[in-house]
């Protein structure tokens, strides 16, 4: 149980285009989902927290107009990287928190490469 999926697993896009990454909790309802960014050989940096039906809360230094987050249902959150640039290339990981506990379950990650 407690499986989180991400789609796509890898994406290559051209500079200036937008990319949407989906995060789904497959067998549980997630009131809260988190989006992280990870640079090579580095730790995970929390980008934003999204709650179903409300606006996401962004961490300091993360541009909300650049990284659009939508938490449309208790099982789906999306992260859209708008007008992507090569410096947005990174590994993006989501996690979902269950309704009944504060344990986070992580998705497998999405490797974004902007050319």
Nearer to another protein, 51 or 80 (CB): 51
Closest CA to 91 of 22, 14, 39, 24: 39
Q: How far is the CB of 16 from another protein (least distance, A)?
A: 26
Residue 67 has which token pair?
């990284």
Q: Residue 36 Cβ, how far from another protein at the closest point, in Å?
A: 8
User: How far apart are the C-alpha atoms of 57 and 42, rounded to whole Å?
Assistant: 23
Give the interface with another protein as residue ranges (CB under 8 A). 4, 6, 32, 34, 41-46, 49, 91, 93, 95, 97, 102-109, 111
Report in angstroms how near the CB of residue 32 gets to another protein at its nearest. Answer: 7
Q: From the CB of 46, what's the least distance to another protein, in Å?
A: 6
Give 17 or 46: the residue with its C-beta nearer to another protein. 46
Q: Which of 89, 91, 92 is nearest to 114 (CA)?
A: 89
Q: Which helix (H) or strand (E) holds 50?
A: strand 44-51
Residue 80 or 104 with smaller CB distance to another protein: 104
Closer Cβ to another protein, 50 or 83, answer by number: 50
d(CA 61, CA 93) in angstroms, rounded, equals 18
Please state, in angstroms and rounded to a whole number, the distance separating the CA atoms of residues 47 and 29: 21
């Amino acid at each position: 149980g407690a499986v989180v999926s991400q789609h796509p697993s890898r994406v290559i896009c051209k500079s200036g285009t937008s990319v949407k990454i989906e995060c789904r909790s497959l067998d549980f309802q997630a009131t809260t989902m988190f989006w992280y960014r990870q640079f090579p050989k580095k730790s995970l940096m929390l980008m934003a927290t999204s709650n179903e039906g409300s606006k996401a809360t962004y961490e300091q230094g993360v541009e909300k107009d650049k990284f659009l987050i939508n938490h449309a249902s208790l099982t789906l959150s999306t992260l859209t990287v708008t007008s992507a640039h090569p410096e947005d290339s990174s590994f993006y990981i989501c996690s979902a928190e269950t309704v009944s506990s504060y344990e986070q379950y992580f998705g497998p990650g999405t490797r974004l490469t902007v050319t």
